[in-house]
Chains A and B, each alone.
Chain A
Amino acid sequence: MQTRIVNIRAAAKAALEEGLCRVVAGYAPGAIAMRARPVFIDKPEDAGKLTWSSFCVGNLAGLLTQAAKQASGRIGVVAQGCVSRNLVGLIGEGRLAREDLYVIGVPCLGMAERRKIEARYPGRAIIAVEESEEVFVVRGKRREERMLRRDALRDNCYTCVQRNPVIYDALVAEPVPDTGGGDIDKVAAPWEKHPPGERLAAFQAAYANCTRCHACRDVCPLCYCSTCFVDESTPQWAGKTGDFADVATYHLLRALHCAGRCTDCGACESACPQNIKVRRLTSKLEKDVRALYGCQAGMALGESPPLTVFRPDDPQDFIK
């Protein structure tokens, strides 16, 4: 981890000094343990503000469009596998240009689910977490505990298929194995295992606590519409209430809007204050798009998103 931090700082410093970019977007430590926040630096001497940890769960790609507009010149960004895939997606959607980016690539060991660590030590305040490739050292007031990285990984990071960045201009560590270890097809779309009659109840239970704060949308790098459908009033696609019909409409449509574009970065789930497993919907679509159309979002520049193309022989068994 320490190598990554040192190298990220060095790469950012060098890039700013040499004029390879005007500003670098990266992560800075959060105010409390197990948090990281986005930060923009534009002076080489500020490179020390940058950090790297397994808590960099926000997706920087979504912040860049605005930044790219404001920065007159190239913009640097610290990007692990999923973030780099989102950069590729945004380049394809005309939001960013490759030549305007300076990508500081980070081979990623997977991000930790802070709730999993907290759950392991209930009732105890965690002051700091230090990490190595294999182990997290969780420090409380009086004692230290050790936890295997594998046990603390976020669900999406456990099933990650692209931990190394797909595009980069500098790489801050040796490439790591691309997969996170888990089999995405075993865990994606978990309600498929339920009998059809029980799925609605599972769906409702999973989203019962949604307060419609829309944090999942706000953090998502794909959600950049100037007016989201959910905020439209004429016509009104979803009501403003917390009634399940409105909650369901919001989440279903949002998931559909992300279909074929979602990199399973997990930012939505990490951002949810209610701990709702938002990926239960998005992972279904990711799985279908992969199985039906052979597409995974953001893996290579120049690929057409699966919902902007078709094949004459696309599956259509359900059509009479």
Chain B
Amino acid sequence: MAPRYVDLDKCIACGECAAKCPKRVPDPFNAGLANRKAAYILYGQTVPLKYAIDPEHCIYLAKGKCRACEKVCPTGAVNLDQTGVHRLLQVGAIVLAAGFKTFDPSHLDYLGLRRAPDVVTSLEYERLLSSSGPNRGHLKRPSDGAEPKKVAWIQCVGSRSLNKCDNAYCSGVCCMAAVKQALMTAEHVKDVADRAIYCMDMRTHGKNFESYYEKAQAQGVRFLRSRPHTLGPGPQGKGVRIRYASEARRELILDFDLAVLSVGLEAPRHFARLAETTGIAVNDLRFAAAQDLTPVASSRPGIYVCGCFTGPKDIPQSVVEASAAACAAAGQLVLARGAFVPETAIRPVIDVAGEPPRLGVFVCSCGANIAGVVDVDRVAGEAAKLPGVAHVENALFACSQDFQERIALAVREHGLNRVVVAACTPRTHEPLFQETIAGAGLNKYLFEMANIRNQASWVHAADPAAATDRAVDQVRMAAAKAARLRPLSEPKLSVIPRALVVGGGLAGMTAALELAKQDFTVHIVERQAELGGNARSLRATLGGQDVAMHLARLRRRVEEEGRITVHLGKVVAQVEGYVGRFATTLTAVGGHGESEVVEHGAAILAVGGQEAKPNDYGHGKHHRVMTHLEIDRALRFGSLDPYDVGSAVFIQCVGSREPKRPYCSRLCCTHTLKTVLYLKEKNPDLRAYVLYRDMRPYGERELLYQKARELGVIFIRFELETKPWVVVGGDDITVYVKDHILGDLLELPADILGLATGIEPSDAADLARMFKVPLDADGWLVEAHAKLRPVDFATDGVFMAGMAHYPKPIEEAVAQAQAAAGRAGALLAREEITLPGLISRIDAALCSGCGVCLAVCPYGAISRGEANLAEVNEALCKGCGLCAACCRSGAPSLAGFTDADILAQVDAMLEDHS
């Protein structure tokens, strides 16, 4: 471990070291566009918020003189003599998540990155747009600081290219990033004149991405199908001149104020060394190798890989893989589960019921951080006059270990039953002080903080008197609230260590087996009479692994696994309970026969989707007009012989990306490529045509596209307005399409016509209602957060996997199934869950049963109980307070933030204001 030169326990993040440090260095967080000091924090929200010394740039560490930071540090946290340490950790599993680096295009002269000052990389542009960036969110171009009105994006810089960079793959994320940046640019530049994205295909294949792309088009963002060949400085060296060829093969020149290079993703620095040290295999693309059916397993047992370490991918997929890797590791560690969990001691609690408030107020100086601006003695003096205050004390550092003992002592000596600390921010320090008073026997909720550092001394240094006034008021407000606080309990719920998986396809079976591996019992409910779902029709994975074999293996393992019970031909009829304690009724499809109740602690919804049935292009009129699955089945069962096919035509986006089914189904482009390659490999004489709108084989799938072109497959682009049409006559299929380059009408005879029809969700409306989880307008399950919680629902204890979330290929469905199992396993592994104290309760005397709270609660935590009045389920309530805000009668009250609590602070802040 490299030395940090700052003691984490002592640093209070006051920033004095950085203020005094004389050494300025380019700030990597701002892509080098701004400077920081050698004593630094990575960025404002760093966790933990502690400083560090950069040994590469520190004058003392490099030249042996300075130590300014050490002298100025008020807590003695700086330790320039710290040395690195070697630690030996004994672990049962390793997860490698070393991320990626972006492609550096500075050596590609034709892109003009260092030659034209107003050419920036997408990462640099991201910082230029950021309100925490070098220009604090004011968009300025580097050459002269002017606000750019015309901005261009150049896609695929360092992606989809072998001759310039040896990165044949698609980086998968840059198209959406460029669309996002284009839309954000208009938020920064009010009179934006032009936003042009130079692209080959726009790959907006993720959930809700296509509508975002459409929004950009509607807002006037231009998408130019071209790869510019030269970028150079514009007139007077400002702006950027772009030379490119139009689709009609004319050379054009356009001037922009700024150009952004959408740089691709590559394996991280030191990747080779890490791979060698850990002994894992590397793939042809120089990322960590993993297989489609085991997407987070490295080549070495016990070592798991996730995120962009195995190839470029976006945030949701990275987070999915992170949970999947955690799941795989948990399966590995199951025998040792709980081995290092510390015992928590039960502490005696002082009963404060019925006592009048006796407040202790502790006013922190934070060295000079507060006291240098705020008159802390005056704050303490004013606090002493407040009603209910029994004890006031100043502290040099309220967060120091010895002062925790002072607080505990004061609680005992003065019989305090509420504590107020005026110091920094509750966001970082409330848990520490709550722990302190809990140690002294007080309920931890009898605590309130006044923020007089971050929100007073640090921001009002120019006006110490006003800062002190504010601090006095904030303490008065905190005391007014504290006097009203009541002890709160944190109810515990025991967890039933059993999961219910709804849907017995690939995702459902994978999730069930992962949970069984972690020693939990699992029930699988499958509507159909056999397990397998869509995978029963599929031929091979992206990397060529045989799906049928894998499926057979999975089914056998599910059947042999004693911890798994399978309910075939059954559906969920009723769900009662909540996280940790569900009781779900299963009945036969159609509702007849005996029903059965399964008690479980968690549920995974993996009800999948299905291939849409096309109703145009002659489907149903000719047996050789086939969907993906129809072709796969025909190939698998031998009714279609590649050697009999002279010409094959594929039409993409059949019914997709149109008003009726607006989303992109993500997997059809790749599926077509797999099929056409298979046919072409079997029968090299085959003439093959793919008619497409955008080819979207993202990530390493791009290699299939490349290979298909090499093998002579012809790709013809069409627009939504000029769709191909199909004539079926007798035995013949003929496809007509307008060639996008030549403008000619082409006539393509086809022995088979493949229709890429896209995926539709299963009808999950009833299931969603029963589990209190949402569906979006297209019918997909809605995750708790599109980026950061991709397999969770807002409703605790319920998770999702597979195509019910969105169309996805096998490797992603497997990863998501593992992720859902990981999230569910983390819940089931706990014997009990502790519910937060700050939740809502309904005063039945005030409730009139109007139902507003039921309607607005984001968690479905409120239901009608006795006399039709509202009742809060404490296991579901998260404490947002919407019910309290929307109720007209004041019946709900949110602990810690009751009407009276908030009003007491409003009263207190205005008490002396005339």
Within the complex, are A and B direct neighbours (CB within 8 Å)? yes
Q: Once the chains bind, are B850 and A232 in contact (CB under 8 Å)?
A: no
Q: Report how far A257 CA is from B124 CA in the complex, Å.
A: 49
A191 within 8 A of B: no
Q: Report how far A304 CA is from B856 CA in the complex, Å.
A: 11
Q: Report how far A232 CA is from B855 CA in the complex, Å.
A: 25
Q: Report how far A229 CA is from B900 CA in the complex, Å.
A: 13
Chain B: which residue is nearest A307 at the CB level?
B886
Among B845, B848, B850, chain A packs the most CB atoms within 10 A around the CB of: B850
Could you tell me the distance in whole angstroms from the C-beta of B895 to the nearest C-beta in chain A? 15
Q: Report chain B residues within 8 Å CB of A95.
A: 848-850
Q: Once the chains bind, are B886 and A308 in contact (CB under 8 Å)?
A: yes
A94 within 8 A of B: yes
A234 within 8 A of B: yes
Q: Once the chains bind, are B845 and A226 in contact (CB under 8 Å)?
A: yes
Could you tell me the distance in whole angstroms from the C-beta of A78 to the nearest C-beta in chain B? 24
A221-275: which residues lie under 8 A (CB-CB) from chain B?
224-229, 232, 234-235, 257
Q: Report how far A94 CA is from B867 CA in the complex, Å.
A: 11
Q: Once the chains bind, are A227 and B889 in contact (CB under 8 Å)?
A: yes
Chain B: which residue is nearest A65 at the CB level?
B848
Q: Once the chains bind, are B890 and A94 in contact (CB under 8 Å)?
A: no
With known contacts A235-B899, A309-B855, A229–B864 Cβ distance under 8 A: no
Q: B889's contact among A92, A225, A307, by CB below 8 Å, is which?
A: A225
A196-231: which residues lie under 8 A (CB-CB) from chain B?
224-229
Chain B: which residue is nearest A90 at the CB level?
B850
Q: Once the chains bind, are A234 and B900 in contact (CB under 8 Å)?
A: yes
A130 within 8 A of B: no
Q: Once the chains bind, are A235 and B900 in contact (CB under 8 Å)?
A: yes
B830 within 8 A of A: no
Q: Report how far A309 CA is from B858 CA in the complex, Å.
A: 11
Q: Once the chains bind, are A229 and B855 in contact (CB under 8 Å)?
A: no
A93 within 8 A of B: yes
B868 within 8 A of A: yes
Q: Once the chains bind, are A226 and B846 in contact (CB under 8 Å)?
A: yes
Q: Report how far A235 CA is from B846 CA in the complex, Å.
A: 13
Chain B: which residue is nearest A223 at the CB level?
B888
- Residues 407-419 of chain B, each 1 if its beta carbon lies under 8 Å from chain A, else 0: 0000000000000
Q: Report chain A residues within 8 Å CB of B847.
A: 226
Q: Once the chains bind, are B848 and A226 in contact (CB under 8 Å)?
A: yes
B903 within 8 A of A: yes
B832-865: which residues lie under 8 A (CB-CB) from chain A?
845-852, 855-856, 864
Q: Once the chains bind, are B889 and A94 in contact (CB under 8 Å)?
A: no
Q: Report how far A93 CA is from B890 CA in the complex, Å.
A: 16
Q: Report how far A235 CA is from B897 CA in the complex, Å.
A: 13
Chain B: which residue is nearest A234 at the CB level?
B900
Q: Once the chains bind, are A224 and B900 in contact (CB under 8 Å)?
A: no
Q: Once the chains bind, are A94 and B899 in contact (CB under 8 Å)?
A: no
Q: Report chain A residues within 8 Å CB of B848.
A: 95, 224-226
Q: Report chain A residues within 8 Å CB of B886.
A: 307-308
Q: Report chain B residues within 8 Å CB of A257.
A: 888
Q: Report chain A residues within 8 Å CB of B900.
A: 234-235
Q: Report chain B residues within 8 Å CB of A229.
A: 888-890
With known contacts A225-B888, A229-B890, A235–B903 Cβ distance under 8 A: yes
Q: Report how far A15 CA is from B886 CA in the complex, Å.
A: 39
Q: Report how far A224 CA is from B845 CA in the complex, Å.
A: 13
Q: B846's contact among A224, A227, A307, by CB below 8 Å, is which?
A: A227
Could you tell me the distance in whole angstroms from the C-beta of B216 to the nearest C-beta in chain A? 16
A6-57: which residues lie under 8 A (CB-CB) from chain B?
none
Q: Once the chains bind, are A93 and B851 in contact (CB under 8 Å)?
A: yes
Q: Report chain B residues within 8 Å CB of A93.
A: 849-852
Q: Report chain B residues within 8 Å CB of A308.
A: 852, 855-856, 886
Q: Report chain A residues within 8 Å CB of B904.
A: 235
Q: Report how far A307 CA is from B852 CA in the complex, Å.
A: 9
Q: Report chain B residues within 8 Å CB of A234.
A: 900
Q: Report chain B residues within 8 Å CB of A235.
A: 899-900, 903-904
Q: Once the chains bind, are B846 and A304 in contact (CB under 8 Å)?
A: no
Could you tell me the distance in whole angstroms from the C-beta of A254 to the nearest C-beta in chain B? 9
Chain A: which residue is nearest B899 at the CB level?
A235
Chain A: which residue is nearest B855 at the CB level?
A308
Q: Report chain B residues within 8 Å CB of A307.
A: 852, 886
Q: Report how far A224 CA is from B851 CA in the complex, Å.
A: 13
Q: B849's contact among A94, A304, A305, by CB below 8 Å, is which?
A: A94
Q: Once the chains bind, are B864 and A94 in contact (CB under 8 Å)?
A: yes
Chain B: which residue is nearest A228 at the CB level?
B889
Q: Report how far A305 CA is from B889 CA in the complex, Å.
A: 17
Among A228, A235, A257, A307, chain B packs the most CB atoms within 10 A around the CB of: A235
Q: Report how far A304 CA is from B847 CA in the complex, Å.
A: 20
Chain A: which residue is nearest B898 at the CB level?
A235
Among A95, A224, A232, A308, chain B packs the most CB atoms within 10 A around the CB of: A308
Q: Report chain A residues within 8 Å CB of B889.
A: 225-229
- Residues 755-778 of chain B, each 1 if its beta carbon lies under 8 Å from chain A, else 0: 000000000000000000000000
Q: Report how far A92 CA is from B10 CA in the complex, Å.
A: 59
Q: Report chain A residues within 8 Å CB of B845.
A: 226-227
Q: Report how far A124 CA is from B847 CA in the complex, Å.
A: 49
Q: Report chain A residues within 8 Å CB of B849.
A: 93-95
Could you tell me the distance in whole angstroms from the C-beta of B862 to the nearest C-beta in chain A? 12
- Residues 298-320 of chain A, each 1 if its beta carbon lies under 8 Å from chain B, else 0: 00000011011100000000000
Q: Report chain B residues within 8 Å CB of A304.
A: 855
Q: Report chain B residues within 8 Å CB of A227.
A: 845-846, 889-890
- Residues 81-113 of chain A, each 1 if its beta carbon lies under 8 Å from chain B, else 0: 000000000001111000000000000000000
With known contacts A234-B900, A235-B900, A308-B886, A94–B855 Cβ distance under 8 A: no
B866-893: which residues lie under 8 A (CB-CB) from chain A?
868, 886, 888-890
Could you tell me the distance in whole angstroms from the C-beta of B575 to the nearest C-beta in chain A? 23
Q: Report how far A44 CA is from B118 CA in the complex, Å.
A: 89
Q: Report chain A residues within 8 Å CB of B864.
A: 94
Could you tell me the distance in whole angstroms from the C-beta of B662 to the nearest C-beta in chain A? 16
Could you tell me the distance in whole angstroms from the C-beta of B910 to the nearest C-beta in chain A? 13
With known contacts A235-B900, A307-B886, A308-B886, A94–B846 Cβ distance under 8 A: no
Q: Report chain B residues within 8 Å CB of A225.
A: 846, 848, 888-889
- Residues 197-222 of chain B, each 1 if its beta carbon lies under 8 Å from chain A, else 0: 00000000000000000000000000
Q: Once the chains bind, are A94 and B888 in contact (CB under 8 Å)?
A: no
Q: Report chain A residues within 8 Å CB of B899.
A: 235
Chain A: which residue is nearest B849 at the CB level?
A94
Could you tell me the distance in whole angstroms from the C-beta of A3 to the nearest C-beta in chain B? 37
Chain B: which residue is nearest A225 at the CB level?
B889
Q: Report how far A105 CA is from B900 CA in the complex, Å.
A: 45
A117-136: which residues lie under 8 A (CB-CB) from chain B?
none
Could you tell me the distance in whole angstroms from the C-beta of A249 to the nearest C-beta in chain B? 13
Chain B: which residue is nearest A94 at the CB level?
B851
Q: Report how far A92 CA is from B889 CA in the complex, Å.
A: 17
Q: Report chain A residues within 8 Å CB of B851.
A: 92-94
Could you tell me the distance in whole angstroms from the C-beta of B857 to the nearest C-beta in chain A? 10
Chain B: which residue is nearest A222 at the CB level?
B888
Q: Report chain A residues within 8 Å CB of B903.
A: 235
Q: Report how far A117 CA is from B281 CA in the complex, Å.
A: 94
Chain A: which residue is nearest B844 at the CB level?
A226
Q: Once the chains bind, are A232 and B890 in contact (CB under 8 Å)?
A: yes
Q: Report how far A224 CA is from B846 CA in the complex, Å.
A: 11
Could you tell me the distance in whole angstroms from the C-beta of A246 to the nearest C-beta in chain B? 15
Q: Report chain B residues within 8 Å CB of A94.
A: 849-851, 864, 868
Could you tell me the distance in whole angstroms from the C-beta of B278 to the nearest C-beta in chain A? 44
Could you tell me the distance in whole angstroms from the C-beta of A256 to the nearest C-beta in chain B? 9
12 A–B contacts from the bound complex (CB under 8 Å): A92-B851, A93-B850, A93-B851, A94-B864, A95-B850, A225-B888, A225-B889, A226-B846, A229-B890, A232-B890, A307-B852, A308-B886
Known: A226-B846, A227-B889. 18 other contacts (CB 8 A): A92-B851, A93-B851, A94-B864, A94-B868, A95-B848, A224-B850, A225-B846, A225-B889, A227-B845, A229-B889, A232-B890, A235-B899, A235-B904, A304-B855, A305-B852, A305-B855, A308-B855, A308-B856
Interface of B toward A, CB cutoff 8 Å = 845-852, 855-856, 864, 868, 886, 888-890, 899-900, 903-904
List 3 tightest A-B contacts by C-beta distance, closest first: A308-B855, A225-B889, A93-B850
